[in-house]
Structure 1
Amino acid sequence: MKIQAALDSFSDAFFIAASVVSPRSPKAIFKNVKVTASGGTVSLSATDGEQGIRITVEGVVDVNTEGTALLPVGYMSSILREFNEETITIETSDSGIQVYGVQSNFKLPAANPDEFPAIAPFEETRYFAVSGRVLGTLLRRTMFATDTDNTRFALGGVFLELAETSITAVGTDGRRMAMMQGPLETVGGYEPSSGTTIVPTSAIQVIERTIGSSDDPVDIAVLDNQVKIRTQNAVIFTRLVEGRYPPWQQVIPQNAGGIELDLPVNAVYSGIRQAAIVTNKEKRGVNLTFGDGTLKMEANTADIGESLIEIPISYAEEPIEMTVDHRYLGDFCKVLDIEQMFKMQVEGATSPALLTTDDGYHYVIMPMSR
């Protein structure tokens, strides 16, 4: 095999594929990305046994000699990060793999690509279709709220509720919850699975990164214990998380009382980051006080100091207070356009806060004790 590729495009595809690879895998074969050059295109495949991807690079690649090769993720990642030429050449021979440009030349050992498991193609004829931009937004705005500590196994992924005309994504760790809904279409009379579709957060990150900001359609097929995703240039599969997802609809406050404010993302994001300067791992709470025409964000940590940040708001009546983990409010702001507005419903110190946007994004934060 011998290929020449634009460095940027090849690197982007390689790092997306490599993100599937687990460095702790007991199987050495899984610590590689398989490159297949055929018919003027190059595909890169990776798997950890539980999830996998095959991503295609074309238009910026010249295939001089067809063939396959296994690129070790660790060494190849370092080469691509430091390679400073516009074009990279990868060539295999009996002695190994050569990676080179005009100024750089590397030789790596070659494992047998025939031992690498195949990534099954997307051959389903009945599936859901959703805009890549819509799906990417749903995943980006929910995956950060999942339980990365795996204290509750079923919360270690994004729950996807697939209906005939809509897709709902939900992420929660039990202390905050993010939810958003978007439109989709069914193809071939596809009907949703009767089981629970919880996609592992690690796979969600790969899917979101693969989609990017493209408007191209993305196809989703849910099988018995896995989900398959097809984009314009990639096929991704992953096993589903087992377990029962909590009744997320019951978490959303029904606006029984309190206030609703229109707040600017930029001011709140800046304010919460400033207030959090004097917090630490043991004390992450920031006190929020709504009243007298201002939102006060205050923190006080022994041996560090105090902070007080104020931003103007429209509410000037009886003060309402609550304490939140600064990370949770910051995470919400981080996935929004910095120039947009959002609504915040606050009832009191012991009630959850509901944050929403005009495009249907819902985010619930549970309060902390002062």
Structure 2
Amino acid sequence: MTAQALLKTESATSSFEVILDRSVLVRALGHCQGVVERKNTVPILANVMLEARNGQLKMTATDLEIAFVETIEAHVSQEGITTVSAHFLFDIVKKLKDGSEVLLKLKSETGQLEVKSGKSQFHLATISPEEFPHPNAGDLPYRFTLHAQELARLIDRTRFAMATEETRYYLNGIYLHATVDGYLRAVATDGHRLAQAEMDLPTGAQGLPGVIVSRKTISELRKLIDEAATQVEVSLSETQICFVLGSSILISRLIEGTFPDYERAIPQSNESPLEVSVALFAEAVDRVSIILNDKARIVKLHLSPNQLRLLTENQEGGRASEDIEVTYSGQDMDVGFNSRYILDMTQQMTGETLQLIFGDATLPVIARDPLDEHVLYVLMPMRV
């Protein structure tokens, strides 16, 4: 189904009545309430639009930056359209008995939506759908299809490095673009670390402009992928991006701004590789970090041939250290990193070992996953 077909909305009517399976309804409402903000100064933006027609219930939610539409099968006794609080409806349906059926009935005489299941009955206030801002996908000239798990991989390998700063808003997302050597690449950075993952460029993505997909969009998209069909249809312009997953559609404005020239942050002169067990390294970093209580959370790495010593100390004079056997033949070196950033990175590794490629104590370190050559991480050092 195309984005335009999913977004098409009929004219408003004064009443409707549908019966749905509770599990199907609660899953769809869960997606909707992820888009709708709980605190909203514009009442209509707190609502989900419900449209019953042709044996289906279409639900639409938006915060004006992101719009989500999902269509589910329903027994429609009377066609119609209305809007109701997304969070109230979700919270009610979530607490109904599993396996039950739910009646949604809009009463024209009161303008309220009746929610009924078994002996439970609720009445919710509604707002006219004429006030609801209807999403519009617009002209999206770039179109391609991805396997759902390929898209999930790009997201999972990079999203932990997204920034959360208001001042550098253009870092609060994943930069998606086509490379000159034929890859679709995802990049995220917060200025202290960088994560990059790529896959073969899909048909139709040639000449794709570089776009920044927002943190919230990435979060909602990732939830949908877990329940999606095998394919995800992607279409975009320089200002909007649209994902179609079966009968669900997610439309988002892209972050305006210029993503930094991230390739300049990847050192080219690092020539001293270190191989270490991911599990041993992560567990050791986690242990020596117990005594740290400041925001910096610095772990010093002392490198020597085939030996890695981790050292930490806190402001009260507490210290911790642990030695790990590694494969390393470079020069002795002391370099510090944020322990949280190390642990975030190790969680992305798919193999049993991790490769860290060092230059000197002032240069960022490159991290690679031996089982996935199309993933790369960069960590900036900290003064020790």
The alignment partner of 1:288 has SS state of: strand
Whether the 8 Å CA contact 2:55–2:76 is kept in 1: the answer is yes
The alignment partner of 1:174 has SS state of: coil
Residue 107 of structure 1 is matched in structure 2 by: 123
The alignment partner of 2:127 has SS state of: coil
Deviation at 1:362, TM superposition (A): 0.7
Q: Distance in 2 between matches of 1:158 and 1:264?
A: 29
Residue 232 of structure 1 is matched in structure 2 by: 246
Whether the 8 Å CA contact 1:54–1:119 is kept in 2: the answer is no
- The correspondence for 1:37, drawn from 46, 52, 58, is 52
Whether the 8 Å CA contact 2:278–2:352 is kept in 1: the answer is yes
Identity %: 23
Residue 169 of structure 1 is matched in structure 2 by: 186
Label 1:146 to 1:24 Cα distance change in 2 as closer, same or farther (>3 A). Answer: same
Which residues in structure 2 correspond to 1:1-370 (within 5 Å)? 1-58=16-73, 61-94=74-107, 95=110, 96-102=112-118, 104-120=120-136, 127-162=143-178, 165-187=182-204, 192=207, 194=209, 196-212=210-226, 214=228, 216-261=230-275, 263-291=276-304, 293-303=306-316, 305-315=318-328, 318-337=331-350, 340-357=352-369, 358-359=371-372, 360-370=374-384
The alignment partner of 2:235 has SS state of: strand
Moved more, 286-295 or 234-243: 286-295
Q: Distance in 2 between matches of 1:84 and 1:303?
A: 54
Residue 7 of structure 2 is matched in structure 1 by: none
RMSD, aligned α-carbons: 2.8
Q: Distance in 1 between matches of 2:277 and 2:115?
A: 49
Q: Distance in 1 between matches of 2:76 and 2:287?
A: 52
Q: Distance in 2 between matches of 1:53 and 1:142?
A: 23
Post-superposition, which runs of at least 4 consecutive aligned residues in structure 1 deviate over 6 A?
none
Label 1:279 to 1:122 Cα distance change in 2 as closer, same or farther (>3 A). Answer: same
Whether the 8 Å CA contact 2:306–2:327 is kept in 1: the answer is yes
Extract unaligned runs of 5+ from structure 1.
none
- TM-score, normalised on structure 2? 0.84
Letter in 1 for 2:187: V
Whether the 8 Å CA contact 2:305–2:329 is kept in 1: the answer is yes
Deviation at 1:303, TM superposition (A): 3.9
Q: Distance in 1 between matches of 2:114 and 2:315?
A: 57
Deviation at 1:205, TM superposition (A): 1.4
Q: Distance in 2 between matches of 1:122 and 1:42?
A: 23
Q: Distance in 2 between matches of 1:71 and 1:119?
A: 17
- Number of residue pairs the alignment of both structures matches: 363
Residue 11 of structure 2 is matched in structure 1 by: none
Q: Distance in 1 between matches of 2:317 and 2:70?
A: 48
Larger C-alpha radius of gyration, 1 or 2? Answer: 2
Deviation at 1:214, TM superposition (A): 5.0
Deviation at 1:241, TM superposition (A): 1.3
Label 1:335 to 1:297 Cα distance change in 2 as closer, same or farther (>3 A). Answer: same
Deviation at 1:16, TM superposition (A): 1.9
Whether the 8 Å CA contact 2:159–2:173 is kept in 1: the answer is yes
Deviation at 1:286, TM superposition (A): 1.5
Extract unaligned runs of 5+ from structure 2.
1-15
Residue 10 of structure 2 is matched in structure 1 by: none
Deviation at 1:122, TM superposition (A): 8.1
